Amino acid sequence: MPKSILPREGLTLEAAFAPLRLTILQPLLTGPLLLAAYQFPTSILSKWPFPESLQLLLHSTRMRTILSLLLVIGLLRKIHKIMNKLVSNNFTTDKTWDWTKEIVLITGGSSGMGAVIVRMFAERGIKVVILDIVAPLEALNSLPNVHLYKADITSESEIKEAADQIRKAHGPPTVLINNAGIGANLPILAETATQIRRVFEVNTISHFLLVKEFVPDMAKRNHGHVVTMASMASFLVHAQNVDYACSKASALAFHEGLSQELKARYGAGKVRTTVVHPTWVRTPMIESLLANRNFTDFVLEPETVAEAVVMQVLSGYGSQLILPARLGVVSGVRGFPSWLQESMRNGVNQVLKS
């Protein structure tokens, strides 16, 4: 079956505007057109079978202005992308990645989006170690380069025990993906202290414990990659999702702080860090939400997020991934005027109401 040109989610805004990014926002196209508009002799153009109106348009001041603006926008986009990559990776490259030898460790890899990430790495012949409290999906058991180690990632002693077994059997992991996450979907006043603590222990505290166990080897070799699965909830909180949003905001701060310490305290500027902010993802964690007829928010397929994570790791560079990309504007919400911030939160305060 031929691969669809549309994303798994159908016709999205990103897909609709992709042709524009590939054409009129490409400096390699608008640059020559602008040069032609200024330099191409009218006498030659008049000999071509173009309508006179088109000839006039190509040499009009309005066309030159439009092409100039498109060229500037295209160049700024390119510069923005290049600077993001350079600064996020400490202006360094690491050409030592050898995917026949790298080891990817992922938490919560037995099911949901984590299982998809595991499969995508394993199908490329990359060794994957799952750290989870449950056995993986049956489809993963048939892959010879996938290995499960059971551990509660909120327990320092269980992480330590599993880590020793992993290093003894496979060597130190070079990629750590902190993927495991949970949510309670309850108002603050309805949650127990145990439920609140559990959300923070899985979604945030475990990141500290796992990094303390596995990053020293990466820092020593100045080679590795730590992926932090955050959320769009890192930026915008929903009523009835406060504990989850708080834990994901702290996961973002953890990613930022880890990046700083790796280069400023450990001289490990080539250890990459990536933080991922997906919106709702079609996983078992939101099954009850998807069954609610009143829920109409955009939902990503787990394969879309998994593919973005895998391709980012394979690139050898760290980044901040916001999925879908159009929600990037939300990442700056806390710098918006207060009235606009609160209006945005008001706009989503009924999303989780059953």
- HEC string of the chain equals CCCCCCCCCCCCHHHHHHHHHHCCCCHHHHHHHHHHHHHCCHHHHCCCCCCHHHHHHHCCHHHHHHHHHHHHHHHHHHHHHHHHHHHHCCCCCCCCCCCCCCEEEEECCCCHHHHHHHHHHHCCCCEEEEEECCCCCHHHHCCCCEEEEECCCCCHHHHHHHHHHHHHHCCCCCEEEECCCCCCCCCHHHCCHHHHHHHHHHHHHHHHHHHHHHHHHHHHHCCEEEEEECCHHHCCCCCCCHHHHHHHHHHHHHHHHHHHHHHHCCCCCCEEEEEEEECCECCHHHHHHHCCCCCCCCCECHHHHHHHHHHHHHHCCCCEEEECHHHHHHHHHHHCCHHHHHHHHHCCCCCCCC
In angstroms, the CA 175 to CA 205 distance is: 19
Q: What is the pLDDT of residue 109?
A: 95
Residue 313 is which amino acid?
V
CA distance linking residue 61 with residue 37, whole number of Å? 9
Q: 83 φ, ψ to 5°?
A: -65, -40
Distance in angstroms between the alpha carbons of the first and the last residue of the chain: 39
pLDDT at residue number 64: 82
pLDDT score for 14:
77
Tell me what pLDDT residue 136 has: 84
CA distance 260 to 266: 9
All domains of the chain in start order, with CATH = 13-88 (no CATH), 103-346 (3.40.50.720)
Backbone region of residue 335 per phi and psi (left: phi > 0; alpha: psi in -120 to 50; beta: other values): alpha
From CA 229, how far away is CA 114, in angstroms rounded? Answer: 10
For the whole prediction, is pTM greater than 0.75? yes
Q: What is the pLDDT along the chain (354 residues), one digit of tens a residue?
A: 345 677 888 878 777 777 877 788 888 888 887 887 776 655 555 555 555 555 556 667 777 888 899 999 999 999 999 999 999 999 999 999 999 999 999 999 999 999 999 999 999 999 999 999 998 877 888 888 999 999 999 999 999 999 999 999 999 999 999 999 999 989 999 999 999 999 999 999 999 999 999 999 999 999 999 999 999 999 999 999 999 999 999 999 999 999 999 999 999 999 999 999 999 999 888 888 888 877 888 999 999 999 999 999 999 999 999 999 999 999 999 999 999 999 999 999 988 886
Sequence-distant (6+) residues with CB within 8 A of 349 are: 238, 239
pLDDT at 2: 47
Directed axis angle between helix 27-39 and helix 61-88, to 10°? 150
Q: Which residues are catalytic?
A: 244, 248
